[in-house]
């Protein structure tokens, strides 16, 4: 594995694996699962506002507070139930399902007889509740024809909820209806989220109350039921084949939708007079609740009775609604699905990796926005999936893993930023201005170690005749002079956003556009060069005013500056123990040639065409240039157009502008080999030159004078054919 790949794994992949993987690992703990189910309960309670109406084929017949008040203390005389069954027989329901246990014979046998007779009127469309127990009920076995077990079962039946015995209704009721198990045991946290669809009694497997109700509704016989544990229960009906998902233990995840006041299923009270009287009298009225082809689910909903329990809707939810929800799920094939862990794990890892790769070096507020935004979007997605798709996505561990990763990323970024600030201040505090250091810190972009390509303007300056000056000054005075001069130069460079590269004796080397990019680096460099000349003019006046403190040569001190723009290599370069932030490349060398070549053309600021073009594109008119020709510098073979930086536009006089106009006209004649025309124009521009020998301190020539000499030589010995105006430099 190469170093880059190893660094990527260590920097990005490892934190993701640790944070997200650890969160996924603890998702299997009991306390985390408890929290997951609590959050699902909250969404379940919320989604009742957005879901579709309950299935009208299921009607809950409520033994409610009004019924208890009307009929007296529970349990009622079974004649009340008999009257209800008899009246319902006229409505022709698909099934009457009792989530009530009739385990003991009535003290008055005639009450059981009347209920048996009423149930028989429904032609076997009645289901009585039973429940499993390990205590011997000491009652006769059920009639052979009462309930047939399910026999087509694939999988380990030992995983099914099982008991040795069953508490079934009295034999009279078994003879006229079916028996099914209404067990709804709570989970480990006391909440009923799963119900057994199958119960093993001894060595026989029987359907639950909900499953038996659906089987009766679709006329599915036990032989038409195929069970694949860990997959589904298949009702292989000719009219409506169904697949009911279950786990290995035959448990069904309830897709709760109805159980609050806002979501109650259609129901009526056992007290409803219309059913007790009008059906019996066979005089249906318009206000009667239609029950034809419906499943009537009879159960206790009174708060004073015992058949209430803890569900996602609350601690006192009538348990008859558990069966109602399961039946509604099956009839509409509206099943809850629990998402596998691996897609969520993969998604959280990818999102975390994206954040580390693309945001690790971004501003802190972007990281914080991502850290909070992604979990909020995921929570919204999870809520949508449960509300609309009945898909249960894990909520807490993905958010916990992703959130932990974001905390790690933000803390790491804070530490890195603090280190970077100290590093930047340490590395660049003496090279660039404090303002630029602060900009580098605020940008959040650390300087790259090693070299990288950057588009900059290289700056070189040197003092004219420095050797002669140094010879005439004692060392201590020379140090004072140079400190004052170099301080002035450096301050201006830094004020314009430049970076000091190095001092080489009297020479100043700087760059504009690194370590922070500057779109207008050429303009800044040109402006800095002219400000330095103006500052040097001020210094010369001060030195001259100091009298004998400084010799005459100091009063005439001039500085030459060369500039070039283009791509170069910048970075920390040197040995492993000592390095310097510097620049290198052909464009750097060309800038140095501009500084040294300025002497040959009698100017004090010279630049390439690249610098002039870039400068004028960002600040047209701010800097005034003069074309000096095309030269081939030493070490290169192609000609480079060069320009004098005459001055800042606001300072250039009309006299100087006339000089430049005449000079450039003469230069064009020169390119055209019109030696006489060029000579005449150069002689006209020469008196207008701003720098005149004997007038301007330290000046020994100017461009017009130099070109007069060149043209005069060409008049005697013209250049060879193919010459395009270039002048070959023989010195660096």
3-state per-residue secondary structure call for 281-310: CCCCCCCCCCCCCCEEEEEECCCCCCCEEE
pLDDT digits (tens, 9 = 90+) for 392-415: 998 888 888 888 887 887 787 777
Per the CB < 8 A criterion, the answer to whether 331 and 215 are in contact is no
Q: Among 52-66, 130-144, 216-230, 298-312, which stretch is predicted with the lowest mean pLDDT?
A: 130-144
| Band of pLDDT at residue 284, cut at 50, 70 and 90 | very low
Q: What is the pLDDT of residue 50?
A: 80
Could you tell me the pLDDT band of residue 280, with boundaries at 50, 70 and 90? very low
What is the structure's pLDDT at 481? 93
Strand pairing report for 242-245 and 58-63? unpaired
Average pLDDT over residues 270-281: 49
490-494 LR contacts (CB < 8 Å, sep 24+)? 492/528, 492/531, 492/532, 492/535, 493/459, 493/528, 493/532, 494/432, 494/433, 494/435, 494/436
Pairing of strands 126-133, 178-181: parallel
The H or E element containing residue 559 is strand 559-574
Give me the phi and psi of 359, to 5 degrees please.
Answer: -115, -5
Residue 463: which H helix or E strand, with range?
strand 451-463
pLDDT at 637: 74
Other beta carbons within 10 Å of 77: 15
Summarize the chain as % helix, strand, coil (round to 5): 45, 20, 35
145 pLDDT above the threshold of 60: no
- pLDDT given at position 51: 78
Q: Identify whether the C-beta of residue 235 lies closer than 8 Å to the C-beta of residue 241.
A: yes
Does pLDDT of 143 surpass 70?
Answer: no
Kind of pairing, strands 232-235 and 165-167?
unpaired
- Taking only the tens place, the pLDDT of each residue in 407-452 is 887 787 777 777 766 665 555 555 555 555 565 566 555 555 567 8
pLDDT bracket for residue 279 (50, 70, 90):
very low
Structural domain spans, the chain: 3-37+338-424, 56-331, 448-645, 653-732
- Alpha carbon dihedral 628, 631, 634, 636, in 10-degree steps, equals 130
Query: Is residue 205's pLDDT more than 50?
Result: yes
pLDDT bucket at 142, cuts 50 / 70 / 90: low
HSE-up of 692 (CA within 13 Å, CB side)?
A: 10
The 3-state DSSP class for residue 625 equals strand
Buried b / exposed e along 518-546 (16+ C-beta atoms within 10 A): bebbbbbbbbbbbbbbebbeebbeebeee
Yes or no: say if 27 and 36 are a contact pair by the CB < 8 Å rule.
Answer: yes
For the ranges 252-266, 342-356, 426-440, which has the lowest average pLDDT?
Answer: 426-440
Q: Any bridge partners for residue 566, and if so which?
A: 456
As a whole number of angstroms, the distance between CA 621 and CA 648 comes to 8
Arithmetic mean of pLDDT, 217-222:
93
Kindly report the three-state secondary structure assignment for every residue of 316-385.
EEECHHHHHHHHHHHHCCCCCEECCHHHHHHHHHHHHHHHHHHHCCCCHHHHHHHHHHHHHHHHHHHHHH
Q: What is the pLDDT of residue 440?
A: 56
CA quadruple 330, 333, 334, 339: dihedral, nearest 10 = 110
Q: Higher-confidence residue: 113 or 290?
A: 113
Least confident of 187-196, 354-363, 630-639: 354-363
Residue 276 has pLDDT above 60, yes or no: no
What's the chain's average pLDDT?
85
pLDDT of 67:
83
The DSSP symbol for 407 reads H
Mean pLDDT of 200-207: 92
pLDDT classification of 271: cutoffs 50, 70, 90: low
pLDDT class for 139, splitting at 50, 70, 90?
Answer: low
- Whether the CB-CB separation of 425 and 437 falls below 8 Å is answered with yes
Residue 399's alpha-carbon distances to 24, 46, 351, 642, in angstroms, are 10, 20, 11, 63
**End-to-end Cα separation, the chain, in angstroms:** 48
Residue 690 burial (C-beta neighbours within 10 Å; 0-12, 13-18, 19+): middle
Q: Which sign does the torsion angle of CA 448, 451, 457, 460 carry? A: positive
Which of 20-29, 113-122, 386-395 has the least mean pLDDT? 20-29
| Separation CA 128–CA 119 (nearest Å) | 10
In the 8-state DSSP scheme, what is residue 580?
Answer: E
Among 163-177, 242-256, 321-335, the minimum mean pLDDT is found in 163-177
Q: What is the DSSP string of 72-102?
A: -SSSPPHHHHHHHHHHHHHH--SEEEE-S--
Kindly write down the DSSP assignment for every residue of 518-529, as one continuous string: -TTHHHHHHHHH
Q: What percent of the chain is modeled with pLDDT above 90? A: 44
- Decide if 213 contacts 127 (C-beta within 8 A): yes
Mean pLDDT value across residues 59-69? 85
For 131, the token pair is 């429940």
Question: Which class does domain 448-645 fall in?
Answer: alpha beta
What local confidence, expressed as pLDDT, does residue 435 receive? Answer: 53
Q: What's the rounded mean pLDDT across residues 138-160?
A: 79
Tell me what the mean pLDDT of segment 263-267 comes to: 60
Helix (H, G, I), strand (E, B) or coil at 276: helix
Q: How many helices (H) and strands (E) does the chain have?
A: 23, 29
Residues found in the chain = 732
Specify the pLDDT at position 261: 54
| 580 vs 397: CA distance, rounded Å | 49
Residue 258 has pLDDT above 90, yes or no: no
| 272 band by pLDDT with thresholds 50, 70 and 90 | low
CB 606 within 8 A of CB 600: no
Residue with more model confidence, 201 or 110: 201
Most confident of 55-69, 308-322, 598-612, 697-711: 598-612
In 56-214, DSSP assigns E strands to 58-63, 95-98, 126-133, 152-154, 162-163, 165-167, 178-181, 194-196, 198-201, 204-207
What pairs with residue 728 in β-bridges? 632
**pLDDT-based confidence at residue 345 (cuts at 50, 70, 90):** confident
Cβ 664 vs Cβ 626: under 8 Å: yes
User: Which position has the higher pLDDT, 158 or 728?
Assistant: 158
Average pLDDT over residues 352-358: 79
Looking at residue 277, its pLDDT comes to: 40
For the cut 50, the answer to whether the pLDDT of residue 287 exceeds it is: no
CB 103 within 8 A of CB 166: no
Confidence band, pLDDT 50/70/90 cuts, at residue 75: confident
State both tokens at 522: 């050429």
pLDDT digits (tens, 9 = 90+) for 680-722: 999 999 999 998 887 887 778 899 999 999 999 999 999 888 8
Q: How far apart are CA 646 and CA 624, in angstroms?
A: 6
Do the beta carbons of residue 523 and residue 488 sit within 8 Å?
no
- Say how many C-beta atoms besides its own lie within 10 A of residue 471's C-beta: 10
Q: Give the pLDDT mean for 275-292.
A: 52
**Is 403 in a helix, a strand, or coil?**
helix
Please compute the mean of the pLDDT values over residues 512-539 and round it to a whole number. Answer: 94
CA distance 218 to 346: 42
What dihedral do alpha carbons 680, 686, 689, 695 form, nearest 10°? Answer: -170
pLDDT of residue 344: 87
* Residue of 230, 223, 99 lying closest to 149 (CA atoms): 223
The pLDDT value recorded for residue 37 is: 87
Q: In this predicted model, what pLDDT tens digit does every residue of 626-677 receive, in sequence order? A: 999 998 877 677 889 999 999 999 999 999 999 999 999 999 999 999 999 9
Contact present, 610 and 566 (Cβ < 8 Å): yes
As a whole number, mean pLDDT of residues 343-370 equals 78
Q: What is the pLDDT of residues 446-500, one digit of tens each?
A: 555 567 899 999 999 999 988 888 888 999 999 999 999 999 999 999 999 999 8
């Amino acid at each position: 594995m190469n170093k880059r790949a190893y660094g990527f794994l260590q920097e990005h992949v490892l934190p993701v694996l640790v944070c997200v993987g650890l969160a996924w690992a603890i998702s299997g703990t009991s306390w985390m699962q408890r929290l997951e189910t609590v959050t699902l309960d909250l969404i379940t309670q919320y989604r009742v506002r957005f879901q579709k109406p309950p299935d009208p084929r299921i009607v809950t017949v409520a033994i409610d507070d009004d019924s208890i008040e009307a009929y007296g203390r529970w349990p009622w005389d079974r004649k009340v139930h008999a009257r209800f069954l008899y009246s319902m027989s006229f409505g022709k329901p698909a099934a009457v399902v009792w989530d009530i246990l009739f385990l003991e014979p009535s003290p008055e046998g005639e009450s059981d007889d009347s209920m048996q007779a009423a149930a028989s009127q429904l032609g076997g469309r009645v289901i009585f509740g039973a429940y499993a127990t390990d205590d011997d009920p000491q009652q006769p076995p059920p009639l052979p024809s009462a309930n047939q077990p399910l026999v087509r079962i694939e999988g380990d039946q030992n995983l099914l909820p099982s008991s040795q015995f069953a508490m079934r209704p009295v034999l009279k009721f078994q003879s006229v209806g079916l028996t099914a198990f209404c067990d709804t045991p709570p989970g480990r946290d006391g909440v009923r989220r799963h119900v057994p669809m199958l119960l093993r009694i001894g060595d026989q497997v029987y359907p639950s109350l909900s499953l038996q109700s659906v089987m009766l509704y679709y006329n599915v016989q036990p032989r038409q039921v195929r069970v694949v544990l860990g997959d589904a229960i298949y009702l292989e009906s000719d009219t409506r084949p169904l697949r009911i998902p279950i786990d290995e233990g035959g448990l069904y995840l309830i897709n709760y939708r109805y159980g609050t006041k806002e979501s109650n299923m259609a129901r009526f009270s056992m007290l409803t007079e219309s059913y007790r009287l009008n059906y019996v009298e066979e005089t249906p009225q318009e206000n009667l609740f239609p029950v034809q082809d419906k499943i009537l689910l009879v159960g206790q909903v009174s708060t004073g009775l015992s058949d209430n329990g803890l569900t996602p809707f609350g601690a006192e939810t009538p348990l008859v609604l558990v069966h109602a929800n399961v039946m509604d799920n099956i009839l509409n094939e509206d099943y809850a699905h629990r998402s596998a862990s691996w897609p969520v794990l993969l998604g959280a890892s990818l999102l975390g990796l994206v954040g580390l790769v693309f945001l690790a070096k971004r501003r802190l507020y972007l990281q914080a926005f991502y850290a909070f935004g992604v979990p909020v979007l995921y929570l919204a997605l999870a809520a949508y999936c449960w509300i609309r798709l009945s898909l249960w996505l894990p909520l807490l561990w993905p958010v916990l893993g992703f959130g932990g990763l974001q905390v790690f990323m933000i803390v790491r970024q804070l530490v890195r930023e603090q280190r970077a600030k100290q590093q930047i201040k340490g590395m660049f505090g003496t090279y660039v201005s404090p303002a630029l250091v602060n900009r580098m810190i605020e940008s959040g972009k650390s300087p790259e170690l090693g070299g990288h390509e950057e588009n900059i303007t290289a700056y070189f300056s040197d003092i004219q005749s420095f050797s002669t000056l140094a010879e005439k000054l004692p060392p201590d005075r020379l140090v004072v002079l140079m400190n004052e001069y170099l301080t002035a130069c450096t301050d201006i460079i830094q004020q314009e956003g430049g970076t000091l590269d190095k001092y080489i004796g009297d020479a100043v080397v700087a760059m504009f556009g690194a370590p922070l990019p500057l779109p207008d680096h050429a303009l800044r460099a040109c402006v800095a060069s002219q400000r330095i000349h103006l500052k040097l003019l001020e210094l010369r006046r001060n030195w001259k005013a100091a009298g004998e403190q400084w010799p005459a040569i100091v009063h005439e001190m001039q500085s030459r500056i060369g500039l070039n723009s283009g791509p170069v290599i910048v970075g920390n370069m040197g040995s492993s123990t000592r390095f310097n932030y510097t620049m290198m490349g052909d464009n750097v060398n060309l800038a140095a040639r501009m500084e040294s070549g300025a002497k040959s053309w009698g100017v004090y600021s010279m630049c390439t065409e690249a610098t002039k073009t870039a400068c004028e594109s960002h600040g047209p008119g701010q800097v005034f240039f003069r074309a000096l020709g095309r030269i081939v510098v030493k070490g290169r073979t192609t000609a480079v157009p060069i320009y004098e930086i005459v001055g800042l536009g606001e300072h250039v006089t009309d006299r100087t502008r006339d000089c430049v106009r005449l000079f450039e006209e003469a230069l064009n004649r020169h390119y055209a080999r019109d030696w006489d025309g060029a000579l005449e124009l150069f002689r006209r521009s020469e008196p207008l030159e701003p720098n005149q020998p004997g007038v301007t301190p330290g000046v020994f020539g100017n461009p017009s004078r130099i070109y007069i000499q060149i043209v005069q030589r060409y008049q005697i010995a013209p250049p060879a054919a193919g010459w395009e105006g270039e002048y070959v430099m023989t010195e660096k």
